[in-house]
Amino acid sequence: MLTKIVDEYLQANSEAFDSISRQLWERPELMYEEHFAHQVITDFLEERGFTVERGYCKVPTAFRAEFSFGRASSETERVLTVALLCEYDALPEIGHACG
């Protein structure tokens, strides 16, 4: 069930993911200087209903985004939590070389 939901979401947003990927590739930014990438990614997430905290942990180019889909109906019921790590800084003189 979860795999199907994720697959459908990825398919529905594939053009946007490609666009973001190209934009970041064409405009590499070094660690702690990724202001363009930060803006593009956080705007994308907010447009899709995520709650975004920019400047997370007092790092201007860091963010935390959260999307809630339903709530636990009781104190004992668990809800699914998924975490993703985004690394969008580039390397000096190389650019985005890590994949």
- Name the amino acid, one letter, at 25: W
pLDDT in tens, 22-60: 999 999 999 999 999 999 999 999 999 999 999 999 999
Rounded Cα distance, 41 and 68, in Å:
18
Q: What is the pLDDT of residues 47-96, one digit of tens each?
A: 999 999 999 999 999 999 998 877 777 777 777 777 888 899 999 988 88
Q: What is the rounded CA–CA span in Å between residue 35 and residue 12?
A: 27
Exposed, middle or buried, 38 (CB in 10 Å: 0-12/13-18/19+)? Answer: buried
Contact 24, 87 (CB under 8 A): no
| 2-13 average pLDDT score | 89
Q: Are 38 and 61 in contact (CB under 8 A)?
A: yes
